[in-house]
Structure 1
Amino acid sequence: MPASTQRLGLAALTALVVGSMVGAGIFSLPQNVARSAGPAAAMIGWALSGAGM
């Protein structure tokens, strides 16, 4: 049985890196916004996000 070698191209590697950066930003951004905006703005953003879903 021949050994199969699979390789990722430049586009696939770039997509993996960009996806990792966006994924990490999604979880860290609300913390930064809540810290700088204050509780009222955080509640308004939470309500708007909930209404959008």
Structure 2
Amino acid sequence: MFGALFAMIAWDPPIWLLLMVTLPLVAGLSLGLMRPGKGVMIALQMRNRVEQAPHG
């Protein structure tokens, strides 16, 4: 976050350039971190012995 604010203040890029850089970056990082995040959540559930919630 600090880097993005610094870049906006120091270089004052046009909005179209910010969108061309940040939108693919955010989408790529979101999709790229989804699988490791799911793995961490499953590992934490296994470590804490969380069982499935009863249905109904």
TM-score, normalised relative to structure 1: 0.50
Query: 1:27 & 1:38 partners in 2: Cα distance?
Result: 17
Aligned residues between the structures: 36
- Asked which structure has the greater RCO (Cα within 8 Å, sep 6+), the reply is 1
TM-score, normalised relative to structure 2: 0.48
Q: List runs of 5+ in structure 2 lacking aligned partners.
A: 1-15
Query: 1:18 & 1:12 partners in 2: Cα distance?
Result: 11
Once the two structures are superposed, the pairs formed by residues 28-47 of structure 1 within 5 Å of their partners are: 28-38=36-46, 41=50, 44=52
Q: List runs of 5+ in structure 1 lacking aligned partners.
A: 1-7, 45-53
Query: 1:20 & 1:10 partners in 2: Cα distance?
Result: 15
Aligned residues: CA RMSD: 2.4
Q: Percent identity?
A: 8
